[in-house]
Amino acid sequence: MTGGALLLRFVLYGAATMVASAGDSWTLGLGLGAFTGLLGLGLERRLRAAFDSRPAILATLALLASGPANGISATPDPSQAVLFGASCLVFFVLAGSSIPSAPALGLAAAVSIGPAAFEWARASWWHIDPVNLLVALFGAHGTLYGAPLLWAGFLGLGGLRREKPALARLALAALGPGVVSLLLATDQAEASTRIATWLPFLLPGIAQCFQKAVAFARRRPERVVSGAAAVLVLWNLFLMEQYRLRLLPSDDTVSFAQVTSNSAGLLSRLFGTPAAWPANWIFAWRLEVPLDRWDAIAGRRLFANEKAVAATIEIGDDASLFAPDVPLLLEGFGARRTCEQGWCRDLDGAGRLLLPLAGVGRGDFTIRLRARGQGVLSLSLNGVSTSVAAMTESLSDVTLRAPARTANRGFNVLSLSVAGGGKATLDRLTLERDLGNGSAR
């Protein structure tokens, strides 16, 4: 291996981390990039003992290029990088032995669930729910959503178990407890911190999968070419559809960013975002909502932080795709329109709103809807608590006060209906919770 090739791989391994970390400081970016580059060279060396060189290199690259997907934030987190580096070191050491001992497997498991245990010990509240796992893996900031190639780390385990059972056992010892730990939600760090410690253990599965993929591509090149051609067909079909629906001007310049966004919207609406499969299907099926709703809802927190007692959602104020109210509106709501001094949306007869809540507090949970219209507006939370109030000609509050037990941690459905199928104009939704004293734990 030449020095040039080594340097090239060092740069490739560190590039993604460097770009992601350089937003604030180039020094930090270069430092973390170099650190990741070194980690990459070590991981690759370990993998090459068990796999061909190219799958080993590409598996390492796939893992490290996806690093920034875990714990995306405007400011890079060196502590997470250190945690990841330490777990890489553990993987490097443990994967070196041909038959991992029980203590080694125990160490792998401990490393993988260590951060979760630490969080749990410090948490003022915690709860276990399968939704937490789905959000951590498939939510818009989830690991497999941000880095779909990491799927290979799980898919490759089957083949690995037959061909390299020692590596398979090591990977399973870390991944099993690690994934299970994602069921836990606390008021502490993001799930990405917990994931950082078992990410390196995906490498054997990724390398195994890539090795098979290389063999397949060599055996059936025409199928690979067909797959690539299918991407061009998809691009064209989505472009045709958005042109047909007049989402683009028929005779003017267009922004290709907008074209991409329209296509992504169509894909997500029709099939759900592939990177979020199967969580988005489960979500859509359980709550009877459109497939594309998962992305903007999973992991959303209406209350700004754990101590916030009120959350306000302005309805119709933001016209962009990033509008915070849009993901919450399920059906029955009209387009944005002006009302009094600001922007609103009309409710046509009946509609549903989705309220994702991380915590509902201990006392009463209050929902205030600023609305106007004629007739009586009724609100119902999860089909249990109901409130009925007459609306006025000018905007005023309609309030629903529900016991905390009727609101769920997770997804709640607020149903609205105007008596007689009339219209109501909605301006703002305010949620208030009573955190009470003491711990929920």
Partner 1 sequence: MQVCRVGTSVMSALLAFDLALIVVTGGLSILTPWTRASPLAFAIREGLLALALVARLRVLAAPDRRLSAGRLMLVLAIFPSLFHLHFVGRRITGDGLYYYVYTRSMMRDADVDFANEYEHYDLLKRGDLSVPTDTGHRRSIYSVGPGLLWTPFFAGADGLASLFAAAGLEVNTSGYGPLHINATALGSFTYGIVAIFLIHAFLRRDFGDRLAAGTVLLLWWASFLEWYLAEQPLTSHPASVFLVAAFFLLRQNQAPSSSWGSLALGLTLGVAMSVRWQNGVYLLLPAVDLLGAFLRRESIIGLVRRGLLMGGGVFAGILPQMLAWKAIYGEYLLPSPPHGADFLRLDRPFLLNTLFSSRHGLLSWTPVFWLCFLGLIPLTKRNPRRFAILWAPVLIMTYVNACSGDWWSGGAYSNRRFDSLLPVFALGLAAFLRHARDVVKQRPAAVLFALVLGGAAWNLTFVRAIQRQEASGEAPLSLAARALASARALSHDVGFPATWPASWIFAARYDTSPGAFDLAAGRYLFYRQNNLGGVADLGTEGDEALILNGFSSPKQDGPITYRGIESEARLIVSLDLPETLGLSLQTRAADHARATNIEVAVNGNAIGSIQAPPDWGEARLEAPQAFWKRGPNIVTVRARSPVHIDRVTFGGPTR
What dihedral angle (degrees, nearest 10) is formed by the CA atoms of 77, 83, 86, 91? -110
Residue 207 engages partner 1 in binding (rule: CB under 8 A): no
Contact 283, 293 (CB under 8 A): yes
Residue 82 engages partner 1 in binding (rule: CB under 8 A): no
Closest approach, Cβ 193 to partner 1, in A, equals 15
**Residue of 25, 27, 98, 260 that binds partner 1 (CB under 8 A):** 260
Gyration radius of the chain over CA positions: 25
Q: Which stretch binds partner 1 (CB under 8 A): 110-118, 171-179, 250-258, 332-340?
A: 250-258
**Residue of 3, 102, 255, 420 that binds partner 1 (CB under 8 A):** 255
Which has the closest alpha carbon to 43: 62, 15, 16, 30? 62
Residue 253 engages partner 1 in binding (rule: CB under 8 A): yes
Using CA atoms, how far residue 280 sits from 71, 148, 273, 321, in Å, is: 21, 15, 8, 19
Helix and strand element counts for the chain (H, E): 16, 11
Of residues 317 through 356, those in contact with partner 1 by CB under 8 A are 320-322, 324, 326-327
**Residue of 39, 50, 61, 133 that binds partner 1 (CB under 8 A):** 61
Q: Which secondary-structure segment (H or E) carries 425?
A: strand 423-433
Question: How many Cα atoms within 13 Å fall on the side-chain side of residue 301?
Answer: 16
**Residue of 6, 128, 225, 388 that binds partner 1 (CB under 8 A):** 225
**Residue of 267, 287, 404, 413 that binds partner 1 (CB under 8 A):** 267
Closest approach, Cβ 64 to partner 1, in A, equals 9
Cα 114 to Cα 106: distance, rounded to the nearest angstrom: 11
Q: Which stretch binds partner 1 (CB under 8 A): 85-93, 110-118, 254-262, 433-441?
A: 254-262
Q: Which residues contact 425 (CB under 8 A, 6 or more apart)?
A: 337, 339, 344, 345, 346, 347, 371, 372, 373, 395
Cα 54 to Cα 114: distance, rounded to the nearest angstrom: 32
Q: Which stretch binds partner 1 (CB under 8 A): 1-9, 69-77, 118-126, 413-421?
A: 69-77
Residue 25 engages partner 1 in binding (rule: CB under 8 A): no
Residue 182 engages partner 1 in binding (rule: CB under 8 A): no
Of residues 87 through 106, those in contact with partner 1 by CB under 8 A are none
Q: Which stretch binds partner 1 (CB under 8 A): 116-124, 154-162, 258-266, 387-395?
A: 258-266
